[in-house]
Amino acid sequence: MAARRDGVSRHAAHRMLAVGLTVTIAVHFLNATGFVPAPAPFRRELLSGGIAGVLASAVSVPSSTEAYELPPLGYAYDALEPSIDKETMTIHHDKHHNTYVVNINKALEGNEQPPLVELQKTAIQRGPAFRNSGGGVYNHDLFWLEMAPVGKGGSPSSKLAAAIDDSFGSLDDFKAKFEAAGAPGARFGSGWVWLVVDAEKKLAITSTPNQDNPLMEGVDGVPGIPILGCDVWEHAYYLKYQWQRPAYIKAWWDVVNWNQVSAWYEDALGAKAPAVDGVPTAAALVGQRGSVPVATTLEKKGLSFDVKINWESKLALGGS
Ligand code: MN3
């Protein structure tokens, strides 16, 4: 019995060592590579051959695997200052948003991944990974797109402006009601405030807890198509505004991309929800993307991200 226990202990020790090494390698690797996304086409090119092809086959990740991706911002991290500071944007996008991307991809590993917008519908029924991570990816994709540097976001289209007047009295009244819905007294704890187009194609303000959104069946809020959403999690504002969430929401209006929101309003009247995994749409409206230096930088960093994902897959599956 003693010998057998020793055997078991040795086996357990080996496993622990393997796990420890795995974690060490993973941490080292993640630190070395950072959380920088590869643009979709670049990643797919890599997966079809070359270095990544070798890596993919080495770690048994099918080359046809499709995964949700962390889209690069359509503007610089400091472009939304002074409303939102550079450090908040960097951490929010590179860490918080990326974590949702990694986790929903893990939850869907080996399964077909539907368009992100479709995933929202059944997210609450499918459980926490889909609701929290799937919702988190969609909400943040939308959030980056609906913002633009001060002076670049335009104003509501005449059609949207008329609908806002009709539903809320005026643009100022709308903003006041939206701010009230996002204040800590109304949305206690983490969540989002939304402008939605409801089933009657009317505008409504609602708020949802955590990473829920109005597309989710069974949502605690007004169901509908979101065309504007304000992230009121503390991670969205705390570094600059601390406890003053209302000050953050007030400053946030200066960076709303009304050109994008107006386009989504048109779509919503046709029952089409923002398919937010198409970053260039808003970018074109903002006129801030597509510059060669940005693309070049991202492509240089793209390989690191690709490698990280493959290694993560291996480390998560192997080792024990
Ligand atoms: Mn957030």
pLDDT of the residue at 319: 29
Q: Does the structure show a pLDDT above 60 at 180?
A: yes
Place of tokens 């309003």: 265
Residue 64's alpha-carbon distances to 57, 128, 208, in angstroms, are 11, 26, 35
What is the C-alpha to C-alpha distance for residues 150 and 218, in angstroms, rounded to an integer?
A: 36
DSSP 8-state class, residue 84: S
Taking the centre of ligand 1 as the mean of its atom positions, its distance from the CA of residue 187, in whole angstroms, is 15
What single-letter amino acid sits at 10? R
Taking the centre of ligand 1 as the mean of its atom positions, its distance from the CA of residue 110, in whole angstroms, is 27
Give the residue-averaged pLDDT of 263-290. Answer: 68
Taking the centre of ligand 1 as the mean of its atom positions, its distance from the CA of residue 93, in whole angstroms, is 8
Mean pLDDT of the chain: 76
pTM: 0.69
Q: Does the structure show a pLDDT above 60 at 268?
A: yes
Taking the centre of ligand 1 as the mean of its atom positions, its distance from the CA of residue 226, in whole angstroms, is 16
Q: Which tens digits make up the pLDDT trace of 14-59?
A: 444 444 444 444 434 443 333 333 334 333 333 333 334 333 444 4
Taking the centre of ligand 1 as the mean of its atom positions, its distance from the CA of residue 26, in whole angstroms, is 25
pLDDT of the residue at 91: 98
The residues near 310 (Cβ < 8 Å, ≥ 6 apart) are 52, 55, 56, 59, 61
Taking the centre of ligand 1 as the mean of its atom positions, its distance from the CA of residue 32, in whole angstroms, is 25
> What homologous superfamily does CATH list for 158-286?
Iron/manganese superoxide dismutase, C-terminal domain (3.55.40.20)
Boundaries of every domain in the chain: 2-64+79-119+290-317, 158-286
Token couple for 318: 């192997």
Query: How far does Cα 206 stand from its chain's mean position?
Result: 20
Q: Which tens digits make up the pLDDT trace of 139-148?
A: 999 999 999 9
Q: Does the structure show a pLDDT above 80 at 135?
A: yes
Taking the centre of ligand 1 as the mean of its atom positions, its distance from the CA of residue 91, in whole angstroms, is 10
Q: What percent of the chain has pLDDT over 90?
A: 64
Q: Does the structure show a pLDDT above 70 at 292?
A: no
Taking the centre of ligand 1 as the mean of its atom positions, its distance from the CA of residue 231, in whole angstroms, is 6
- Residue 162: how many CB atoms within 10 A of its CB? 11
Taking the centre of ligand 1 as the mean of its atom positions, its distance from the CA of residue 216, in whole angstroms, is 18
